[in-house]
Structure 1
Amino acid sequence: MKEKLLIVEDEFIVANDLKIMLQKAGYQVVGIAASVAQARKLIEEKKPDWILLDIILKGNLTGIDLAWELREMNLPFLYISANTNQSTLEAVKATHPYGFTVKPFREKDLVVMLDIARYRFNQEKEDLAINQVNPEIQEIEGIIGQSPLLKETIEKIKIVAPAETSVLILGESGTGKERAAHAIHELSANKPNPIVVVNCAALPQSLIESELFGHEKGSFTGANALRIGKFEQANNGTIFLDEIGELPLDSQVKLLRVLQEKEIQRLGGNKTIKINVRIVAATNKTLEKEVAEGRFRLDLYYRLNVFPIQMPSLKERKEDIEILAHYFLKKYATSSKRNVISISVKALEQLKSYNWPGNVRELEHLIERNVLLAKTSEIEKFDLPSIAPAASLEIGTNKIKSMEEMEKEHIMNALQICNGKVSGIGGAAELLKLQPQTLYSKMKKLGIKQEYN
């Protein structure tokens, strides 16, 4: 039986083209609605299986308003929109859609997006059934906390780990994306084999292909020996592509081919090598926006975004701060053989009132440093960084700063404190808990000059 789809789109030409594409792909389109009110009526009458949803509609209500209603009805939906404003994308993500694509799109892209959305929806139903049978969520080593958001993340990790599905881990810097990748590997059948970690932002552009896929001896000047690339090293295991959003477009094409064909070719070689590698990627970027602005390939995005996992920021799970603080206290007191066994109530209140721009990584380094500096068995107070994350709302105005504006301002504040020094001891990279290569990459993207002071 054909799946029934309802299109909610206020531009008739776009909606009609979409209807033709869907019918050609074997779907049954039960109607077109131009407003939320029309959509509600058609949903009640036609009982569609899926909703394709634009954001800007006729009337006072938007597609996002309707999405919250669809969530209540457990009716799956996907967004089709030309709107890539950062605040809009954040509002879209909050509704947990099963897919999002930017207009205009190709028929092939639409079909792939629907296939992936169906997989995600069915997976979610299976997850719910598993939770009803076994509601207890076991902890994962290195991922610490009891907050509802973190429990949801752990649940997703445990569900996807045994599969061979590609995973995209999303979240701010310092939220534990690499730890999540290791957990996925350790809970999979690939555990006896290696997990290879690649920081895409740190790869020199001229050497990306050689690093990922290897090269033959003599393939270019300086290639004095055969080099085995990261994908070959990870054969029968897992490759973790951190900061995937920093990969240049031409390298994205090659990565897509590896995902599709499951084979590589060394630079300078003429032989294809079959590989069996599970790909886990991570980014702190909004990839939908990167796609819309031409910096990330839509087809690669679909391939990677089969099973997204969102790592919550520390400010979203402040109830976990005390648990984390004591965990890191025990860890570093033991490793440094220091007799530091407690944190004062006042010091804990300091931790809970701070906004944690560097997330769990920042908290960990703070505890480690204070364990080493403690003069008694208790940490009595913390000297938290004087820089605070840029306010998201400018006082006296209604303008909300974009994540990019906030990130730029935060980096510039750090550079000012460090007198323009980026790397090394006392540099902005150390203060921000970032790899120097990552910070240089962010500065270049945001237009921050190195000599800034």
Structure 2
Amino acid sequence: MKEKILIVEDEFIVANDLKIMLQKADYQVIGIASSVVQARKLIEDKRPDWILLDIMLKGTLTGIDLAWELREMQLPFLYISANTNQTTLEAVKATHPYGFMVKPFRERDLIVMLDIAKYRFNEEKGTLSKQTIDTEIQEIDGIIGGSPLLKEVIEKIKIVAPAETSVLILGESGTGKERVAHSIHEHSKHKSKPIVVVNCAALPHSLIESELFGHEKGAFTGANSLRIGKFEQANDGTIFLDEIGELPLDSQVKLLRVLQEKEIQRLGGNKTIKINVRIVAATNRCLEKEVAEGRFRLDLYYRLNVFPIQLPTLKERKEDIEALANHFLRKYAASSRKNINGISPLALEQLTGYDWPGNIRELEHLIERHVLLAKTNEIEKFDLPSNPNPSVQHTGKMKSMEEMEKEHIMNALFLCDGKVSGSGGAAELLKMQPQTLYSKMKKLGIKQGYN
């Protein structure tokens, strides 16, 4: 049975185009309403499954006013609008839509957005079938485990990878965001083309535009030759924007324009270059909080947050620890050419009893280190941090704030193998700018040579 859709749009040409697109995709369009009053009547008479809702409509009531009524009726809706000013977007966000599309858009974008909205709706209502998810340990592109939370991640990868839509990967440092991005790329139609990884936190602010969009020779002092930016390098492929929350606001505006127009212009150039790039972004920050505090643009958030994938912490999926530990054991035993083929029950108990603040990355580094140190063919015991309250020393004496800060930074450096900046570095783990961390290290007497 065809799903019924109501179009609420006061521009006839736009509404008619939407109707044609939807009918080609085998949806039943039950009507077109140009005002809230007309929409109410059609909803009462024909009870649609979905509503495509413009914001600015004929009459005194807006699409946002109707959205609140739809929430009361438990009718799912998506916004379609050309209005992306911050005040409007804040009002839109409060109504909790299942999607937001900025005009103009392509037929493919519309159908993918609807598919994703239906997935979200079913997931929210608890009707998403879990039968499609394997019950055994899975390994897809190095993503290992059999826990329910991980299976949901794998299922979402399978759903979104073939689509063209943007993906936002959310999760703490060390949870495997880049691996998920590579998996999405490998199962997409872009897999024969490159995936270009950009660590937004590591880009110098003065060079962000040049790094992302390139520059012409002579564009600025030191630009001695043409530079192809990351977006051009990723053309027809995927660009992975890691730690997107670190981009400054002026760079966010330029990125938003690229996402909307699907074109770039090199710094110092006047030629517009069309690009076809799949966007996958990631962050360990709460972008909604960043938006609320004025550090991240809401319109860019909506552009990126089409299909979010939340990665669980390792603490939340402890049933996967044994499989992960054995995977890393095989990997590092082979690379170091050591005959180590097991982890003792006591050592496994240690792993599952630990909270893993550094997540999978911390586990991997721990296994690598113990493989190198092992003198037998089995890891019998792990050397793990044991003091649950680092502010209190064994003597019962409280540490000073400076001592605690130094110890915290040293622990982060240890987890990151001494790496300070860049992907997988201590600055990323501590959620601070690299230059800030370097300054603190100098002040606290932490030797630069540790890096």
2:117 equivalent in structure 1: 121
Q: 1:49 aligns with which of 75, 99, 106?
A: 75
Task: Give the aligned residue type for 1:414.
Answer: H
Query: 1:314 and 1:409, CA in 2 relative to 1: closer, same or farther beyond 3 A?
Result: farther
Question: CA 1:241–1:428 in 2, change beyond 3 Å: closer, same or farther?
Answer: closer
2:330 maps to which residue?
330
Equivalent-residue separation in structure 1 for 2:211 and 2:273 (angstroms): 16
Q: 1:334 to 1:449 in 2, by over 3 A?
A: closer
How far did residue 334 of structure 1 move? 1.3
**Aligned residue number for residue 407 of structure 2:** 413
Closer/same/farther in 2, CA of residues 109 and 213 from structure 1, 3 Å limit: same
Instruction: Note the 1:373-452 alignment, pairs <5 A.
Output: 373-385=373-385, 412-415=406-409, 427=418, 429=420, 434=425, 441-442=432-433, 449-452=440-443
- Map of 1:201-212 to 2, 5 A cutoff? 201-212=201-212
Confirm or deny: 8 A CA contact 1:168 1:304 kept in the other structure. Answer: yes
Max radius of gyration: which structure? Answer: 2
Name the structure 2 match of 1:159. Answer: 159
Structure 1 residue matching 2:241: 3-state secondary structure? strand
Letter in 2 for 1:309: I
Shift of 1:443: 6.5
- Aligned pair 1:350/2:346, yes or no? no
Residue correspondence of structure 1 range 249-260 to structure 2 within 5 A: 249-260=249-260
Is the 2:329–2:367 contact (alpha carbons within 8 Å) kept by the matching residues of 1?
yes
Residue-by-residue CA offset, 1:256-286 (whole Å, 9 max, x unaligned): 0000000000000001100000010000000
Change over 3 Å in CA distance of 1:135–1:154 after alignment to 2: closer
Alpha-carbon shift at residue 206 of structure 1 (Å): 0.7
Unaligned runs of 5+ in 2: 1-5, 9-38, 44-54, 80-84, 101-112, 392-401, 445-451
Contact 1:21-1:107 at 8 Å conserved across structures: no
Q: In 2, distance between residues paired with 1:410 and 1:313? A: 24
Distance change in 2, residues 1:22/1:336 (3 Å): farther
AA partner of residue 114 (structure 1): P
Distance change (3 Å), C-alpha of 1:381 and 1:20: farther
Separation in structure 2 between the aligned mates of residue 288 and residue 48 of structure 1, nearest angstrom: 24
1:25 match: 63
1:106 maps to which residue? 87
Change (3 A) 1:21 1:219: farther
Shift of 1:451: 3.1
* Aligned-residue identity in percent: 61
Distance in structure 2 (CA, Å) of the matches to 1:145 and 1:438: 23
- In structure 1, what is the Cα distance between the partners aligned to 2:59 and 2:146? 45
| 1:100 counterpart residue number | none
TM-score, normalised via structure 1 length: 0.69
**Does the alignment pair 1:246 with 2:284?**
no
Q: What is the identity, as a one-letter code, of the residue corresponding to 2:333?
A: A
Please tell me whether the aligned partners of residues 357 and 389 of structure 1 are also in contact (alpha carbons under 8 angstroms): no
Q: What SS does the aligned partner of 1:317 have?
A: helix
Matches within 5 A, 1:1-400: 1=6, 23-25=61-63, 28=66, 47-49=73-75, 106-107=87-88, 110-111=91-92, 114=97, 116=99, 119=114, 120-124=116-120, 131=129, 134-136=132-134, 139-385=139-385
Partner Cα separation in structure 2 for residue 24 and residue 153 of structure 1: 37
- Distance, in Å, in 1 between the alignment partners of 2:293 and 2:129 is 39
Q: Which blocks of at least 5 consecutive residues in structure 1 are unaligned? A: 6-16, 33-38, 51-75, 79-103, 392-407
Residues 416 and 152 (structure 1), Cα distance of their counterparts in 2 relative to 1, 3 Å cut: closer
Instruction: Please state whether the residue corresponding to 2:143 is helix, strand or coil.
Output: coil
Change (3 A) 1:115 1:344: closer
What letter is aligned with 1:163?
Answer: A
**SS state at 2:174 partner:** coil
